[in-house]
Amino acid sequence: MSNVVERYVPTGGFALVSDAPGWKSDDKQQKSGPTCWKCKGGKEIVDKKASRKEAKESKKKAKVSKKCPVCDGRGFLNPKKQEIESLAAKQGMITRRRRCNPDWIDHEPKSFAMKELEALLQENSSLLKKGQPLYFLQQANSLKTKDEGVSVPEEKFFEYPWFPCNKGEQLCNLVGSWRILQRVGSHRWTTDDIMTAYVALQELDGLDCFQRNDVRYIDLGCGNGSVLQMTSWGLLKKHALKAFGIEARSEAAALARRSLTFNIGKDAVGETISVIHGDFRDLERHEPFANEKGNNIQSQVENFYKEKAKKFDLVTGTPPYFQVDFSVKEDYGEKVVTKAVINQGGMPSSIQSAPARCEFRGGVEEYCKAASRVLSDQGIFVVCENWLNNDRVYSGAENAGLRIKTVYPVKGKSSRKEILFAVYVLKFKEGEGKTEVKKPIEVRDEKNKWTSSYADILEKMGIPARHEL
């Protein structure tokens, strides 16, 4: 079968074989990056000036090629230099505690690791042994210098999966005293994530039907678990929670699970919050993920089936923004991606950033479809999207039987006219309800400082910000 071009990575077992199918070139066994966006992997582009000259001289159409200047005629781009260097050389790190006013107290719920550390110090500070994970955490939280954090040894501790023992890993501040594992030079949490979690918590809290104790929550394409954990942190203040993140990228799913051990403890991972390694597009099946090649604990998947049958009160998603074309061929009855070529901008040169920013397994339309399959009748779906794709959100909602209840536009800077992105709140259709478009939230002012309104949002999410105004 010859190659055909498809809009997304085909569903099925192959979707999980690689974190970013088609991103990496197979040739020469070298560390090659994504297919070049300029020449589409062809190594050459049309030399328009030379073609016009040739056509003028020959008095017929001419097409003169030249070496692609973007990839230097290789057909692919170099992987992100910072990512390669970080993996090769940089020790793992626990970043310093955020700067804050002296009277700042981390918002509840407190992370499991911090409770463990505080209990140990209260019992007997001599029990805090040098070279142990909690020792390094205490050192990072106590830093008074301008250092970024505390470097840690390349040593694994079975009792502390959250320890950033692998090169290039950082255990970073998230919300409150919660932290998240991220890799230097790879995909990291952003303003999009904090705004999605904030809106989800605000909207859910305002619904009378969700004042009950228990809440079921699912994050589609959860990545490293930033939105999943930010939102869960907020929900755990008032509710008994059953939360799930669905993620197709194996590395991201593994990082999310390890982060959860820091925040809620090993015993609560799989009980309170679970991360399922799978393709969220598989949710249309009665038993999703059953035949996929994901790395899952079966009891957690079965627990997911039980909660899915009851439907979810809250669904969140932060879809990638940029469209990609996939060359696909059939191999032993299964569709295999041979090449991924971005058709909006340039493909990220980090293999982990690529599917987080580009539509490998679906854009906002697929997120809307998946949300409609698992959302309860009174539930809400909160999704973030590039403002340039605003029309796609409306059409995706319409096709999935949803309507947009509220839109929260976000501007990167108060001096700019254009909207950067928006967070949308969707529900199942109930008559002809009108969409409320809120006044744009401005992140930074003319001096590049947080605006007071955005600082308020950060502080509600347990991130000290007022001291910087």
The pLDDT of residue 398 is 96
pLDDT at 310: 94
Q: Output phi, psi for 468, to 5 deg.
A: -90, -5
Could you give the number of structural domains in the chain? 3
Statement to judge: residues 363 and 450 lie in one domain? yes
Shared domain check, 66 and 129: no
Same-domain status, 165 and 203: no
| Tokens matching residue 280 | 């969220």
CB 318 within 8 A of CB 217: no
Dihedrals phi, psi of 205, to nearest 5 degrees: -65, -25
**Residue 40 pLDDT:** 73
Residue at 4 is within a domain: no
* Cα distance between residue 453 and residue 108, in whole Å: 22
pLDDT at site 23: 67
Determine the 3-state secondary structure of 259 from DSSP. Answer: helix
Domain final residue pick, 156, 185, 214: 185
Give residue for tokens 């999943």.
228
Closest-CA residue to 409 (of 433, 390, 428)? 390
pLDDT in tens, 443-468: 999 999 999 999 999 999 999 998 76
Q: Is residue 23 part of a domain?
A: no
Residue with tokens 């250092």: 147
Element (H, E) at 201: helix 191-205
pLDDT beneath 50, residues of the chain: 1, 25-30
Give the bridge partners for 46, in sequence order.
65
Dist. CA 462–CA 108, nearest whole Å: 8
Residue 417 belongs to domain with CATH number: 3.40.50.150
- pLDDT of the residue at 89: 67
Q: State phi, psi for 389 to the nearest 5 degrees.
A: -100, 20
Nearest to 217 by CA among 176, 267, 275, 290: 275
Distance CA 271, CA 241 (A): 9
Is-contact 425 316, C-beta < 8 A?
Answer: no
CA dihedral 146→152→157→161, nearest 10 degrees, is: 50
Instruction: Compute how many other C-beta atoms are within 10 angstroms of the C-beta atom of residue 68.
Output: 19
**Residue 92 CB-half CA count within 13 A:** 19
What the block records as the tokens of 346 is 């340039």
Range of the domain at 50: 36-75
CA pair distance 361, 317, nearest whole angstrom: 13
* One domain, residues 255 and 210: yes
What is the reported pLDDT for 32?
Answer: 62
pTM assigned to the model: 0.84
pLDDT at 380: 97
Same-domain status, 208 and 230? yes
Rounded Cα distance, 251 and 183, in Å: 10
Over residues 274-330, the pLDDT tens digits come to 999 999 998 987 778 876 667 888 889 999 999 999 999 999 999 987 777 666 777
Three-class secondary structure of residue 135 per DSSP: helix
Query: Is residue 302 a part of any domain in this protein?
Result: yes
